Structure 1
Amino acid sequence: MDQATRLRMMVNQHHNEQKDYAKKAKVVTVTSGKGGVGKTNITINTALTLAQQGKKVVILDADLGLSNIEVLLGVIPTATLSDLIFGQKNVKDILTSGPLGVQFISSGSGVDDLVHLNSSQIQEFINKLQPLEEMADIVLIDTGAGVSDTVMQFIQASDETVVVVTPEPTSITDAYALIKTVRNNARVKGFLPKIHLLVNRADTLAEGQEVFNKIFQASRKFLNMPVYHLGSVPYDRKVIEAVKLQKPFCLSYPDSAATKAIRTIGRSLIDLPHEPAKNTGLGEFMKKLFHLIG
């Protein structure tokens, strides 16, 4: 029996032991085909609007080498995912508190470290992470941009994936390329998440709809894969001003057009079907992730 098979058996065993776990967090990956589309800013402000609507939210910063979450929130983490994996920390110890009770986990080198864990380390890591299921209603995973193996693994392991795209032609092309890669990987590995498009910096609602339609039609015609429109966030100078202040725009400018749009998107995320009795939640996410890594 090879190591990958042993790892999958162990994660499956853990999953079966936890199958009666009543509370299951919804796991949503936020990603993009290219950088510079405002993905992390969207993640943070979505998390805050979810908190304003009574949800407990944890953000996992999986954007390796670019810790923009702590910059935009103006807080510095004292521990990272690596401390959970290799140190004596528990999951509460590595949570950094932000505004409105939103918490985030800085990955450090932790996401890369997952690939190198042995069987006992994987089991210990899963056990340490399990309490997060009770501590969060929604876990938002902010990945890097593009189609690296790590990004694909997080996308395919998640309950839902939000692809942030702008009206720029290169962004549209790269978003479609990402969706195509997800589709191709699913044919091999079997995990096909729901893909939701969020159009950022649209000049008008009509432009946002047009961008969605282009990707939707191409995905349906060439990939035979549905994509869903989560919504659009308009181009808004207040967003730029908030970034300069290192403040989330939904808090600095609560009446701005971008904030109103992100509130609507937050409500749409809450309304996405989520059935805890089925194969969803953080435990199932970990099962899929280690299967994909292995």
Structure 2
Amino acid sequence: MHKKLPIVISVTSGKGGVGKTNISINLSYCLQKLGNRVLILDADLGLANVDVLLGLTPEYNIFHLLNQGVSLSKILLQTNYGFQILPAASGVTEMLSLSTGQKLELLEAMDYLEDKIDYLIVDTGAGINDNVIYFNLAVQERLLILTPEPTSLTDAYALIKVLKNKHNIQKFRVIVNMAKTEVEAKNVFKKLYAACDHFLSSISLDLVGIIPHDITVKKSVARQVPFCHEQPQAPATKAMQEIARKINNWQAAEQLDGNIKFFWKKLLFQE
């Protein structure tokens, strides 16, 4: 039995190289294994690589819908792993310059998705540029990827600070990736928590899970296969499965007028 409303989650980070896209893919794989219908929006504009990590070559992206009349059903790319991809490898500036008519046309096309998916996973770029902020403002849940590296910590804090101070976003979920030990992972989370608690008011940080450093992950990436599919017994897979089970218990906000359409309305009509 499927959820009444889809949940829209960004997978985001303050810096590159933290495994964000790999987590998006493997989280999607694990969520579909739990019986969910999952779609990844590749929102790392200019450096889109969800398709690359899966060895796929999309023929269309979302702008073909607006510029060439290609239907959304043709743009959606089905993977061999039970989830779909929505390629959107064009600049946000194009989205911002759409006419009101085009925006309404896109919203109408999104009706096609409303009752067809349970999770929309938005794989953002890294950093605090406009593209990253733009997508993080539109989603309902923000999943921040952190690693034990000091630069990851400082850049994650910078992203939280911008979203809090400029846009009053207060709630963040955190995954610590590539941790050598659980103690190391919890320490880096505690440092982020302490910085937010000291310098920013009313920030909520929830540690969703810890993914251990695992050599099998790199091997699966090289073979362009989700590690959760190729290495079902690996420590990283076990951790990702546990994270997916937690996320599967999250509830969509019932007051939203259709979560997928709500996402696109916020995305397209931001001030």
Q: Which TM-score tier does this pair reach, normalised by the shorter chain? A: over 0.9
1:159 to partner: Cα distance? 0.5
Counterpart of 1:226?
204
Code of the residue aligned with 1:199 in structure 2: it is: V
2:179 aligned residue: 202
Q: Does 1:258 align with 2:236?
A: yes
1:287 partner amino acid: K
Alignment match of 1:113 (pick from 83, 91, 94): 94
In the TM superposition, what whole-angstrom CA distance separates every residue of 1:229-263 from its partner, at most 9, and x where no partner exists? 11110000000111111111111111000000000
Corresponding residue SS for 1:24: coil
Task: After TM superposition, give the deviation of residue 280 of structure 1 in Å.
Answer: 6.3
Q: Which segment is superposed worse, 129-138 or 253-262?
A: 129-138
Measured after TM superposition, the shift of residue 221 of structure 1 is 2.0
Question: C-alpha distance in 2, partners of 1:235/1:41?
Answer: 13
Instruction: Determine the structure 2 residue equivalent to 1:36.
Output: 17
SS at match of 1:64: coil
Instruction: Measure the CA separation in 2 of the matches of 1:112 and 1:101.
Output: 32
- Gaps of at least 5 residues in structure 1 are 1-21
Give distance in 1, aligned partners of 2:213 and 2:93: 34
Aligned residue among 63, 67, 87 for 1:82:
63
Offset of 1:228 from its aligned partner? 1.0
Shift in alpha-carbon separation, 1:153–1:193, aligned structure 2, 3 A:
farther
Contact 2:256 2:262 in 1 (8 A): no
Q: Secondary structure at the match of 1:141?
A: strand
Partner of residue 214, structure 2: 236
The C-alpha deviation readout for 1:80-113, integer Å capped at 9, x for no partner, is: 1111222212221111111232000111216442
SS at match of 1:93: helix
Distance 2:200 2:264 in 1: 27
| Distance in 2, Cα, partners of 1:121 & 1:266 | 35
C-alpha distance in 2, partners of 1:39/1:229? 16
**Which residue of the other structure, out of 227, 249, 266, is the alignment partner of 1:271?**
249
Counterpart of 2:207 in 1: which secondary structure? strand
Percent of paired sites with the same residue: 39
Out of 13, 29, 52, the residue aligned to residue 71 of structure 1 is: 52
TM-score when normalising by structure 1:
0.87
Partners of 2:229 and 2:137 in 1: CA distance = 32
Q: Provide the aligned C-alpha RMSD in A.
A: 1.6
SS at match of 2:204: coil
